[in-house]
Amino acid sequence: MKKKYKSCFFYYFFCLSTLYACSEKTNYPEGKQLYDSHCASCHGKQGEGLESLIPPLAAADMLQNNSASVACWIRKGLEGKILVNGKEFENAMPPNERLSNTEITNIINYVQNAWGNKHKFITLEEVNQVLKNCK
Ligand code: HEC
């Protein structure tokens, strides 16, 4: 009886700590994984960007004010002069033709809700629609 109680307690503790670890990290684990392998080398693990070369994604007005078009930037790349938090950037981001629409959706939901960013959830249907109309 006592042994049973003990293992039950450990099981309960294990569940709690797993839940805690997951909720601590991110609600979008797939998006995080994709971000870490496709974006973090430039934009940084914390979305901090790189001086005047790469714009930040954390607390970046350009990302916050553009929900849908982000999908096209990821798929097609982005270049030319842009303004992020009042700072000018003029560089080129390469396209990601091989990321699927679902992967792009996961990445967007991750970056728009990581590092203090708070944005509404974007659905796969919305992203499908946007990607049909990229310039
Ligand atoms: C090779 C480096 C590189 C990689 C990899 C890269 N980016 Fe970029 N990204 C840039 C640069 C440079 C710009 C600015 C382009 C310009 O000046 O027009 C940019 C701009 C952006 C912007 C708009 C500006 C802002 O800060 O809000 C977003 C959003 C963005 N990138 C998201 C991503 C995401 C998501 C990924 C991964 C799928 C990614 N980038 C991968 C270099 C990169």
> What would the pLDDT profile of 63-86 be if each residue is shown by its tens digit?
999 877 999 999 999 999 999 999
Percent of the chain with pLDDT over 90: 76
pLDDT for the residue numbered 115: 97
Residue 9: inside a domain: no
* For residue 120, pLDDT beyond 80: yes
CA of 133 to the centre of ligand 1 (A): 20
Q: Which of 38, 43, 102, 108 to mutate to test the pocket of ligand 1 (most atoms within 8 A of CB)?
A: 43
When pLDDT is cut at 50, 70 and 90, the band that residue 4 belongs to is: low
pTM of the model: 0.85
Residue 18: inside a domain: no
Residue 101: inside a domain: yes
Residue 6: inside a domain: no
Residue nearest to atom 31 of ligand 1 (CA): 93
For residue 72 and ligand 1, the question of a CB distance below 6 A is answered with no
pLDDT for the residue numbered 26: 77
CA of 46 to the centre of ligand 1 (A): 13
How many Cα atoms within 13 Å fall on the side-chain side of residue 86? 0
Mention every residue, 6+ apart, whose C-beta is less than 8 A from residue 99.
34, 38, 74, 75, 107
Residue 128: inside a domain: yes
Residue 47: inside a domain: yes
Specify the number of domains making up the chain.
Answer: 1
Range of the domain at 62: 27-132
| Residue 68 belongs to domain with CATH number | 1.10.760.10
* For residue 17, pLDDT beyond 80: no
For residue 110 and ligand 1, the question of a CB distance below 6 A is answered with no
Query: b vs e for 32-58, b when ≥16 Cβ sit within 10 Å of the residue's Cβ?
Result: bebbeebbeeebbeebebeeeebbbbb
